Structure 1
Amino acid sequence: MVRFGVIGSEGAMGRALRAVIDTSDDEYAGGVDRAGDPATLAAGADVLIDFSAPDALARNLAAAQAAKVPLLVGTTGLDRSHHDALRQGAQEIAILQTGNTSLGVTLLAHLVREAARRLGPDWDIEILEMHHRRKVDAPSGTALLLGEAAAEARGIALADHRDSGRDGAGVPRAAGAIGFAALRGGTVVGEHSVILAGEQERLVLSHVAEDRAIFARGAVRAARWLVGRPAGRYTIDEVLGL
């Protein structure tokens, strides 16, 4: 039995995580939100799952380190300073950070990596995503995860080849660019398509999320996998043995 502590427990993902844990053989050790104390939560948990906000990461990471418990971070919108902090923290505890905890998306990223590597640079890559009207970051963390998979396969840095928000005249497609387009509206949970366009043919790899429960189930499985691992930085690919 694993005791799960949830940070960001009052959010949509936090509630979905509670529902999944409550129907398992594991234990919900508790949850905290903005005003809560992650240190107290960490002391009574075997693993922490963080779906809060980027500005809360430092406090949550410190709590996990102090309690010597692993940490799964599903928060999106992280910048370089956050990733630097996670790399430092991984010297003391097991950490898994991902832009998407869906196991289907994890496999999609693997397929994107394979397609980009095998088809080569002559195929243009465009990533299209759509989410509900309340989402505040764009492109989504999942879209960036897919872009990173494509860039890694080509041996390039996504930051140097990312192309977002084309508008107006005089904006031809740059050679080797990885394009992003973000759509927002309604109550869409999440849709992502990676388009690889070659001469007279296209390959489209897609994933549609119909309910947040898929992310909660993936996060719980990944967090359970993380328990007992030595200190280090892990990926959700490793949860599936990819």
Structure 2
Amino acid sequence: MTQMKIAVAGASGRMGRMLIEAIRNAPDASLAGALDIAGAPGLGADAAAFLGEDAGVPITDSLDEALGEADFLIDFTRPEGTLKHLEYCAEHGIKAIIGTTGFDDAGKAAIAAAARHTAVVFAPNMSVGVNVTMKLLELAAKSFAEGYDIEIIEAHHRHKVDAPSGTALQMGEVVARALGRDLKEVGVFAREGVTGERDPSSIGFATIRGGDIVGDHTVLFAGIGERIEISHKSSSRVTYANGSLRAARFLAGRDVGLYDMQDVLGLR
């Protein structure tokens, strides 16, 4: 069996450790590198030490050292770091799986440009369940195009730095696109004071941050006499790790191009 040689960015963090454990448990994958920022507490330690194992892969802040033996990079870090890592991947033909959120338009354009030189799966949420939910939302939005108000509620742990979540924004984009709307024009991200009546074409967002919530998302279609809620709740980051490995397997047969989890799951 051919082994996918995978490096992990943010190797000392919660998601990085989940990815490392998933790679170690996958029969078709091997850990080829572990990357973290300068000053990270885990630098120099074996990447699998938290599992009580020796992977023979030290955590480093050197791109050359972390990615020198890798064919894939999985990155769930911060936009500025991810773009730096992606530039290296594009130059060296390393395929990238990006779960980082919070990119602005310029960052998304940079990802698209890099995908002309290497293969990239870019998705704000790698969970298989979330991405099936996206397909359900597309169908629901088309059916509830008239007479239903749409609100998106998301909740995450206290350490999350961006809001609304990338997944919530993607849900909004899926719904808006199905309705022939532009989320930049109809998205409502804050309400306070005397706001006036709700614009029926708007898509509202509500954000909750607290505790150790891994990730909850609900899209509410509220009509007269009924309401429909489509929800996804994550109880473990393992779903993101497993989805990332599925994305790596998808990229194994591709050299260039920009893809998302809808492509990976054949939901186009």
Question: TM-score, structure 2 length as denominator?
Answer: 0.87
- 2:6 aligns with 4
For 1:5, give the aligned amino acid. A
Look up the SS of the partner of 2:172 in the other structure: helix
In structure 2, C-alpha distance between the alignment counterparts of 1:117 and 1:94, rounded to whole Å:
32
* Residues 1:228 and 2:253 aligned together: yes
Displacement of 1:78 after TM fit?
0.7
Displacement of 1:38 after TM fit?
2.5
Displacement of 1:217 after TM fit?
0.9
- 2:173 aligns with 148
Matches within 5 A, 1:45-84: 45-84=70-109
Look up the SS of the partner of 1:224 in the other structure: helix
- 2:47 aligns with none
Look up the SS of the partner of 1:180 in the other structure: strand
Gaps of 5+ in 2: 39-60
Higher relative CO (CA 8 A, sep ≥ 6), structure 1 or 2?
1
Contact 2:72 2:248 in 1 (8 A): yes
Look up the SS of the partner of 2:126 in the other structure: coil
For 2:177, give the aligned amino acid. E
- 1:165 aligns with 190
- 2:41 aligns with none
Matches within 5 A, 1:145-224: 145-224=170-249
In structure 1, C-alpha distance between the alignment counterparts of 2:90 and 2:129, rounded to whole Å:
30
Gaps of 5+ in 1: none
Displacement of 1:67 after TM fit?
1.4
What is the number of residues matched between the two proteins? Answer: 242
For 2:8, give the aligned amino acid. V
In structure 1, C-alpha distance between the alignment counterparts of 2:243 and 2:146, rounded to whole Å:
32
- 2:51 aligns with none
* Residues 1:28 and 2:31 aligned together: yes
In structure 1, C-alpha distance between the alignment counterparts of 2:21 and 2:35, rounded to whole Å:
15
For 2:115, give the aligned amino acid. A
Q: Which moved more, 1:150-159 or 1:118-127?
A: 118-127
Look up the SS of the partner of 2:177 in the other structure: helix
Shift in CA distance, 171/186, structure 1 to aligned 2, threshold 3 Å = farther
Displacement of 1:182 after TM fit?
0.3
In structure 2, C-alpha distance between the alignment counterparts of 1:38 and 1:50, rounded to whole Å:
13
Larger Rg over CA atoms: 2
Q: Which moved more, 1:191-200 or 1:114-123?
A: 114-123
Contact 1:70 1:226 in 2 (8 A): yes
- 2:18 aligns with 16
Displacement of 1:87 after TM fit?
1.1
In structure 1, C-alpha distance between the alignment counterparts of 2:127 and 2:202, rounded to whole Å:
26
Identity, in percent, stands at 39
After superposition, the C-alpha distances for 1:122-159 in whole angstroms (9 at most, x for unaligned) are 32110001111121111011111111110111122111
In structure 1, C-alpha distance between the alignment counterparts of 2:207 and 2:8, rounded to whole Å:
29
User: Which contiguous aligned blocks of 4+ residues in structure 1 show a shift greater than 3 angstroms?
Assistant: none
* Residues 1:124 and 2:126 aligned together: no
Displacement of 1:161 after TM fit?
0.7
Displacement of 1:31 after TM fit?
0.9
Displacement of 1:58 after TM fit?
2.6
Displacement of 1:184 after TM fit?
1.1
Question: TM-score, structure 1 length as denominator?
Answer: 0.96
- 2:265 aligns with 240
After superposition, the C-alpha distances for 1:63-114 in whole angstroms (9 at most, x for unaligned) are 1012102111101111111101011111111111111011100001110011
In structure 2, C-alpha distance between the alignment counterparts of 1:230 and 1:212, rounded to whole Å:
28
Shift in CA distance, 170/52, structure 1 to aligned 2, threshold 3 Å = closer
For 1:17, give the aligned amino acid. L
Displacement of 1:47 after TM fit?
0.9
Q: CA RMSD in A?
A: 1.2
Contact 2:102 2:166 in 1 (8 A): yes
